[in-house]
Amino acid sequence: MSEIRDNNHKKEKKGMGKWTRRAFIATGVLGGGLVIAGVAGNMYLNNAITKYSGEGMGDGESLNAWVRIAPDNTITLAVPRSEMGQGVYTSIPMLLAEELEVDMNSIKVIHPQPESPYANTAFLDPNPRKAYASYSVMQKVSAFLPVVGTGGSTSVKDLYDHLRGMGATAREMLIKAAADKWGVKPEDCYAESAYVINKSTKEKMSYGSLAEAAAKVELSENPPLKEQKDFKVIGKRVQRLDIPEKVTGAAQFGIDARPEGMVIAAIRHASTVGGTVNGISNEEEVLQMRGVKKVVLLDDGIGAAVIADNTWRAKNAAMALDLEEEANTLEKVSSTDISNMLNEVIENNLFAPTEAHGNVSEALSNAEGAVVEAAYEVPYLSQCTMEPLNCTLVINEGSAEAWVGHQGGSLVRDAINAVTGTPKDKIKVNITYLGGGFGRRAELDFVKKAAMVGKQMMGTPVQLVFTREEDMKNGMYRPAVASKFRGAVGADGMINAWEHKMALQSVGYSSMMRIMPAMADSPENDPQSSEGAVELPYAFKNNSVAFGELDLPAMQVGNWRSVGASQNGFFTESFMDEMAHAAGQDPYEFRKKHMEQSDLPDADRYLGVLNKVASMANWSTPLPAGKSRGIAILKSFGSIVGQVAEITKLGEKQIKVDKVYCVIDCGRIVNPDTVEAQMQSGIIYGLSAALFGEITMTNGQIDQQNFPQYEMVRMQTSPTVEVHIMEVDEYPGGVGEPATPPAAPAVANAVFAATGERVRSLPLIKHGYTFV
């Protein structure tokens, strides 16, 4: 392999080599034996292909599980990652096209069945978090089950080397086939725009005409990958392949599935969170409503559904159901109670510190200056995908088919199997476009509920739809989190003590118990609870970071774009600002000083981002009267993002967020335009939460019903985002999530600069602020 890749292995992939692990996944566990296959030649390739059905790839010959070439030279690429707006139906083809030597506009993308060659091994990556360090052997084995899924900003991270390798191997097979036909050596040929060309005679043969022979070629070694300077596709602004059909209404989302004979099921859940529905007292009446076909109760009191011939009729009939409900333990619980419980955990029930250096208690008691104390808190949040949750499926005798926008195709298949008993190999999963994912579409609740309805409608395709209200009230929310700091600055103007305590519900535990219980580790070991609060790029002489678990299983929490970093970034980068002010120093200079003395291996990359965003925003130049700015920086999902927010104070508490300067270091860049779009997107998502977002509960019932009670940034309140992407030749990090965490602290720090009010709980509207 190329030198660059090998270097990256050393830098980023300590421990088990990537290719070996992949081969292991492709050949080992599913086959029953724990055989670690070698990767010499294209053995891996052929192993992978034996686990691959080619379903949906169209005519022609497969050169591996990712590439099929038709006689008419149509190049079909399998993209087994969910397109939820992050541009993966373009970035993954770019990786293949670069080495395969095909033009981006000649590529046809399909979403394959969730088969083992497509497993996302970045989910297993121990770096940078020690995700699996504490796992028992049995848990490690199950962790190797091939999960075909999208999340954690992993798609490019997972596939950057692998798919260039797949493209290069396919290209070399085609070249070898052509060389054999011409009776020349492969070195006498080259590939360009889906043709192999004979260097001396300039004769060309199309990939389509060569594919059949190429499929039989055995390569003796993996071809070297291109050096970055030779890239023609990667790193260029490439137009997204999915956009044309997204401007005509032709793009098919899950909710647009219309299999022949489909009916609609509208679901009702209990009115209290976690409550059960045990009966329906007016079923006969509801059955008389126009279009209604059936009323069903779901397994285990999960809810009720009305099946009708039209969504509106189904929804009205579901609303008309008189449910016999039973509330659960949350019946008497409200948000203020949860807040008290969180503070109780902070005081009395923390796990051993996740990170500790020096002796923070001593440093605090011996502090020369004042000890700065601060208590922060953030609320539950809903992901609020624009497309309400839905899943369409048909359960037949011995087989099933689903159409769903989901972040994990293999998880969908497993869930349908669990509910209906349909053999996994007889379940076809069609992953459509996702009208937003943000972690909510990694959950299986809506798939399982659809399967529960589907098995009561054998042979008839059913589309289960959550109304917006059911979607908002039955969330897998970002947890509410409380956080307490104590800090002290030494005589040298540097932070001498940094103590951080947090209380929350573990997202990892809650979601894994639902998705893959065998892999659920204890809350104590959930790295997501402290991500963004530990491994900070600042030199602290003494520090301690600890969190504790709020045990409240009835209130389910889940992944929300950027997960733990979403709140921890707000806490740490707000408190960093507080410490700067306590030290009487400029917030940028203060961060810079602490970074310069940091011993983190990538401290220089942090500094690059921090300095760049400060210079973009002209940090050292004072703003005109009425304008203020705030700065924040955080690494998450392998990428460092720094932001400066500029705001205008229009009235005492009336604010306009004018502009956000954003710098990202995500290592090597695949599609700069997509990186830029994801920065814009992640910032608006973070701002919506910081300004407006809050899910609250009163006596077990969620208070927010629909968008009017869960406002978001819209055109008028949207700042302009100016993005700079650092050019850093390192293995790629993620880009879908890392822009979200710094947005809230950057704006809150700007609000402090503007008003002198340190906002320590979100959203800002709760403190009387309005935004225009």
Of 53 and 706, the one with the shorter C-beta distance to other proteins is 706
Q: Do the beta carbons of residue 558 and residue 733 sit within 8 Å?
A: no
Smallest separation (angstroms) from other proteins to the CB of 569? 17
Smallest separation (angstroms) from other proteins to the CB of 468? 5
Token pair 């009387």: residue: 768
Smallest separation (angstroms) from other proteins to the CB of 366? 47
**Residues 497-527: b if buried by 16+ CB within 10 A, e if exposed:** bbbbbbbbbbbbbbbbebbbeebbbebebbb
- Contact characters 44-83, other proteins, x per CB under 8 A: ---------------------------------------x
Smallest separation (angstroms) from other proteins to the CB of 110? 18
**Residues 144-176: b if buried by 16+ CB within 10 A, e if exposed:** bbbbbbbbbbbbbbbbbbbbbbbbbbbbbbbbb
- Contact characters 455-494, other proteins, x per CB under 8 A: ------------xxx-------------------------
Q: Does 130 help bind other proteins (rule: CB under 8 A)?
A: no
Candidates 255-263, 325-333, 341-349, 529-537 — which segment interacts with other proteins by CB under 8 A?
255-263
Alpha-carbon distance 30 to 145, whole Å?
Answer: 8
Smallest separation (angstroms) from other proteins to the CB of 467? 6
CA distances from 360 to 343, 348, 539, 569, 593 (A): 21, 18, 13, 21, 20
DSSP symbol at 118: G
Of 269 and 541, the one with the shorter C-beta distance to other proteins is 269
Candidates 12-20, 454-462, 645-653, 674-682 — which segment interacts with other proteins by CB under 8 A?
674-682
Q: Do the beta carbons of residue 543 and residue 355 sit within 8 Å?
A: yes
CB atoms within 10 A of CB 10: 8
Candidates 206-214, 249-257, 489-497, 519-527 — which segment interacts with other proteins by CB under 8 A?
249-257
Q: Do the beta carbons of residue 86 and residue 80 sit within 8 Å?
A: no
Q: Which two tokens stand for residue 442?
A: 């990694």
Q: Does 704 help bind other proteins (rule: CB under 8 A)?
A: no
Q: Does 650 help bind other proteins (rule: CB under 8 A)?
A: no
Q: Does 377 help bind other proteins (rule: CB under 8 A)?
A: no
CA distances from 156 to 95, 237, 588, 662 (A): 9, 16, 31, 21
Q: Does 715 help bind other proteins (rule: CB under 8 A)?
A: yes
Phi/psi at 236 (nearest 5 deg)? -100, 155
Smallest separation (angstroms) from other proteins to the CB of 490? 41
Instruction: Give the dihedral sign, CA 301/303/308/313.
Output: positive
Q: Does 242 help bind other proteins (rule: CB under 8 A)?
A: yes
Among 641, 629, 632, residue whose Cα is nearest residue 676: 641
Q: Does 720 help bind other proteins (rule: CB under 8 A)?
A: yes
Q: Using CB under 8 A, pick the residue from 707, 729, 766, 768 that binds other proteins.
A: 707
Alpha-carbon distance 604 to 591, whole Å?
Answer: 13
Alpha-carbon distance 396 to 376, whole Å?
Answer: 52
- Which residues ranging from 77 to 106 are in contact with other proteins (CB under 8 A)? 83-87
Strands (E) in 269-381, as ranges, are: 276-280, 292-297, 304-308, 323-326, 355-357, 372-378
Of 539 and 632, the one with the shorter C-beta distance to other proteins is 632
Smallest separation (angstroms) from other proteins to the CB of 174? 30
* Torsion of Cα atoms, 118 then 124 then 127 then 132, to 10°: 180
**Binders of other proteins: how many residues, by CB under 8 A?**
63
Instruction: Give the dihedral sign, CA 141/142/146/149.
Output: negative
Q: Using CB under 8 A, pick the residue from 14, 290, 424, 766 that binds other proteins.
A: 290
Token pair 């997509």: residue: 674
Q: Does 683 help bind other proteins (rule: CB under 8 A)?
A: yes
Alpha-carbon distance 673 to 106, whole Å?
Answer: 20
Candidates 42-50, 95-103, 119-127, 717-725 — which segment interacts with other proteins by CB under 8 A?
717-725
Q: Does 250 help bind other proteins (rule: CB under 8 A)?
A: yes
Among 236, 647, 70, 182, residue whose Cα is nearest residue 196: 182
Residue 165 three-state SS: helix
Of 14 and 237, the one with the shorter C-beta distance to other proteins is 237
Strands (E) in 490-527, as ranges, are: 495-504
Candidates 381-389, 452-460, 544-552, 748-756 — which segment interacts with other proteins by CB under 8 A?
381-389
- Which residues ranging from 401 to 440 are in contact with other proteins (CB under 8 A)? 433-438
Q: Where are the alpha helices (DSSP H) in 234-334?
A: 243-246, 283-287, 311-320
Q: Does 258 help bind other proteins (rule: CB under 8 A)?
A: yes
Smallest separation (angstroms) from other proteins to the CB of 735? 12
Candidates 153-161, 228-236, 240-248, 494-502 — which segment interacts with other proteins by CB under 8 A?
240-248
Smallest separation (angstroms) from other proteins to the CB of 363? 41
Alpha-carbon distance 632 to 315, whole Å?
Answer: 44
Of 309 and 322, the one with the shorter C-beta distance to other proteins is 309
Candidates 92-100, 166-174, 238-246, 762-770 — which segment interacts with other proteins by CB under 8 A?
238-246
CB atoms within 10 A of CB 765: 16
Q: Where are the alpha helices (DSSP H) in 16-133?
A: 18-27, 43-50, 88-100
Q: Does 703 help bind other proteins (rule: CB under 8 A)?
A: no
- Contact characters 384-403, other proteins, x per CB under 8 A: xxxxx---------------
Of 313 and 413, the one with the shorter C-beta distance to other proteins is 313
Smallest separation (angstroms) from other proteins to the CB of 414? 25
Candidates 234-242, 364-372, 549-557, 591-599 — which segment interacts with other proteins by CB under 8 A?
234-242
Residue 73: partners with Cβ closer than 8 Å, 6 or more residues away = 106, 194, 206, 207, 208
Q: Do the beta carbons of residue 572 and residue 532 sit within 8 Å?
A: yes
Q: Using CB under 8 A, pick the residue from 337, 673, 703, 757 that binds other proteins.
A: 673
Q: Does 332 help bind other proteins (rule: CB under 8 A)?
A: no
Smallest separation (angstroms) from other proteins to the CB of 388? 7
Burial of 255 (0-12, 13-18, 19+ CB in 10 A): buried
Of 436 and 508, the one with the shorter C-beta distance to other proteins is 436
Of 468 and 758, the one with the shorter C-beta distance to other proteins is 468
Which residues in this chain contact other proteins in the complex, by CB under 8 A?
A: 83-87, 239-240, 242-244, 246-253, 255-256, 258, 264, 290, 309-313, 315, 384-388, 433-438, 467-469, 673, 677, 680-685, 688, 706-708, 712-716, 718, 720-721
